[in-house]
Amino acid sequence: MENIIKDIDIISAEEAQACDYKTTEDENTGKSKKLYIESYGCQMNFSDSEIVASIMKENGFDTTSDFEQADVIFLNTCSIREKAELTVRKRLSQFNAIKRNKPEMTIGVLGCMAERLKEKLLEEEQIVDVVVGPDAYRDLPNLVATAEDGNKGVNTFLSREETYADISPVRLNSNGVSAFISIMRGCDNMCSFCVVPFTRGRERSRDPHSIVREAQDLFDKGFKEVTLLGQNVDSYKWSPEENNKARLNKKEGEVTEVVNFANLLEMVALISPQLRVRFSTSHPKDITDEVLYTMKKYDNICKYIHLPVQSGNSRILELMNRTYDREWYLERVAKIREILGEECGISSDMIAGFCTETEEEHQETLTMMDIVKYDFSYMFYYSERPGTLAAKKYKDDIPLDVKKRRLNEIIDKQNKLSEERNNLDIGKVQEILIEGESKRSTEQLKGRNSANKVVIIDKGNFKKGDYVTVKITDCTPATLFGEVVS
Ligand code: SAH
Ligand code: SF4
Ligand code: F3S
């Protein structure tokens, strides 16, 4: 689910490992204090920052885009690779100077790094006042108030129930067209390289009613696209008995049966044909034919699947504890092609240089890419994370220069495949949803087709939020260009 909203561009091994962040924007509703949040990592974290902003808003804070104006600064952090943590450490040291001039300012570290390091962060980073894990955000106002009185605080309690279902997120950095909805939290998969199960806790699914309500509310406010988010959306499962015995009543409209991901997709798709539905991330072991048929049934469910393979070699996949092998993955891709056709976009995440990976095994990742023909990928070299199964069991034995060389080969391959796939779109007529102005010209607009590719068109009389039918005329590896079909 890494950086899923980033436009694809040609990147290097160094850039692939780097970490972007998003900040809050200025909002002035007359509250007495200002909150600045900087969010790192995946879309789940960005979505959490919207929940945090909502909780703080209820407690007297407007958001700001200028940290120098802020009474409270939160860094919502990521631990996925070492680089992600180092970026935050560096940022904290930059905030030191500001805090020296404004000692009353509260600085909080939230998210995955907070959960991983707990009290240690207070010891190691003197500047930090509060450390709060992803399941403890309701406690933030309380902890901030305590910090204002000069007492540092930590809450990294991981919950089995918390889904923040009742909290309406404040939409940060939103283009007013598409929004993200968290449908589940945590992860039970224990991929051996991954820190997420430790930082996000056990997997739990959110009440489908609250999801549909949130999507409906967004649609009523003019949004045209929602992306359902989870580390493993295909294992979404909500049963009233398990999740909340108190809800087991027969009120009208109350769901009393188990809802799986295909059911949930359908419930959201039915809100309106004018509301596009996307989702991320799909784990190859869990994506079912039922989900694929539901995607086929509704035009407004976008034909795009982020299906991270990580490696194309079965031995490495086993060491990674991904619980599928090369053949299983290829069978799932064949099913996607059979049910949804060639035009369905497929993207992936790749890890180069996992423990003990041989040159031949690395080659299998490249041949996997050739067979699947991914539209794009998020590509990384392996970064050992403390406490994970891989860190305990296997030696991180691939030298950094080899990891980087393998990663560059994967990136080169992906750039070629992206161009090849984009070329196939030339001449096709597609519906795009306009998201705003193109980055390069105010005379052009940027939209996305169903397969999640960016399409640039001349502005004409169109505006953000319009659905426009276009014929694709040209492409680069990263972008399609289209002409409006009248
Ligand atoms: N839940 C998603 C992945 C979330 S993490 C899934 O299962 O696909 C996003 C991506 O970061 C992963 O898919 C993986 O490619 C990468 N990643 C995770 N841990 C990593 C590590 N230790 N080193 C390098 N890349 C890693
Ligand atoms: Fe990490 Fe695996 Fe869970 Fe994805 S499915 S978050 S890679 S443990
Ligand atoms: Fe996301 Fe990073 Fe945490 S990828 S779940 S913010 S470790």
For 61, the 3-state DSSP assignment is strand
d(C-alpha 155, C-alpha 174), whole Å: 29
Among the listed residues 133, 124, 129, 132, the one whose alpha carbon sits nearest the alpha carbon of residue 147: 129
- Show the tokens assigned to 229: 């988010």
Which ligand gives the minimal distance to the CA of 310? Answer: 1
Please tell me whether 475 is known to bind a ligand.
no
* 259 burial level (CB within 10 Å; 0-12, 13-18, 19+): buried
For the chain, helix (H) and strand (E) counts, in that order, are: 16, 22
pTM of structure? 0.94
- Show the tokens assigned to 156: 């990294």
Instruction: Please state the atom number of ligand 1 nearest to the C-alpha of residue 187.
Output: 1
Beta strands in 391-485 (DSSP E): 429-437, 444-448, 454-458, 467-475, 480-484
- Ligand 1, pocket residues at CB < 6 Å: 1-2, 80-81, 193-194, 196, 231-232, 281, 283, 308, 310, 349, 351, 380, 382-383, 385
226 backbone dihedrals φ, ψ, rounded to 5°: -125, 145
d(C-alpha 451, C-alpha 432), whole Å: 10
pLDDT at 109: 98
pLDDT tens-digit map of 385-444: 999 999 999 999 999 999 999 999 999 999 999 999 999 999 999 999 999 999 888 899
Instruction: For ligand 2, atom 4, name the residue with the nearest CA.
Output: 231
| Cα-to-centroid distance, 191 and ligand 2 (Å) | 5
Tell me the DSSP string of 340-362: H-TTSEEEEEEEES-TT--HHHH
- Ligand 3, pocket residues at CB < 6 Å: 41-42, 44-45, 78-80, 111-112, 195-196, 199-200
pLDDT tens-digit map of 366-384: 999 999 999 999 999 999 9
For 76, the 3-state DSSP assignment is strand
Contact 193, 354 (CB under 8 A): yes
Sheet hosting strand 178-182, strand order edge to edge? 178-182, 225-229, 276-280
| Cα-to-centroid distance, 309 and ligand 3 (Å) | 18
> Letter for the amino acid at 383?
S
pLDDT at 302: 98
Instruction: Please state the atom number of ligand 3 nearest to the C-alpha of residue 231.
Output: 5
Contact 382, 189 (CB under 8 A): no
pLDDT at 411: 97
Tell me the DSSP string of 155-214: E-PPPSS---TT------S--SSEEEEE-EE------TT--HHHHH-S-EEPPHHHHHHH
pLDDT tens-digit map of 28-38: 888 999 999 99
d(C-alpha 326, C-alpha 360), whole Å: 14
Instruction: Please state the atom number of ligand 2 nearest to the C-alpha of residue 194.
Output: 1
d(C-alpha 9, C-alpha 3), whole Å: 12
pLDDT at 249: 46
Q: Which helix (H) or strand (E) holds 144?
A: helix 140-148
- Half-sphere exposure of 270 toward its Cβ, with a 13 Å CA cutoff? 10
d(C-alpha 338, C-alpha 224), whole Å: 28
| Cα-to-centroid distance, 379 and ligand 1 (Å) | 9
The three state secondary structure string of 225-259 is EEEEECCCHHHCEECHHHHCHHHCCCCCCCCCCCE
Instruction: Please state the atom number of ligand 2 nearest to the C-alpha of residue 187.
Output: 3
Rounded (10°) angle between helices 400-425 and 359-372: 10
Tell me the DSSP string of 129-140: -EEE-TT-GGGH
Rounded (10°) angle between helices 289-297 and 261-269: 10
> Letter for the amino acid at 35?
L
Contact 227, 47 (CB under 8 A): no
Q: Is 232 in the pocket of ligand 2 (CB under 6 A)?
A: yes
d(C-alpha 191, C-alpha 323), whole Å: 9
Cα dihedral 101→102→105→111 (10° resolution) = -20
Total residue count of the chain as it appears in this document:
486
| Cα-to-centroid distance, 321 and ligand 2 (Å) | 10
Pairing of strands 106-110, 130-132: parallel
Q: Which residues of the chain are under the pLDDT cut of 70?
A: 1-19, 242-256
pLDDT at 174: 83
pLDDT at 405: 98
By most ligand atoms within 8 Å of CB, the mutation choice from 45, 116, 194 for ligand 1 is 194
Q: Is 306 in the pocket of ligand 2 (CB under 6 A)?
A: no
Enumerate domains of the chain plus CATH numbers.
Answer: 13-155 (3.40.50.12160), 178-423 (3.80.30.20), 429-484 (2.40.50.140)
Please tell me whether 19 is known to bind a ligand.
no
241 backbone dihedrals φ, ψ, rounded to 5°: -65, -50
* 242 burial level (CB within 10 Å; 0-12, 13-18, 19+): exposed
Instruction: Please state the atom number of ligand 1 nearest to the C-alpha of residue 2.
Output: 9
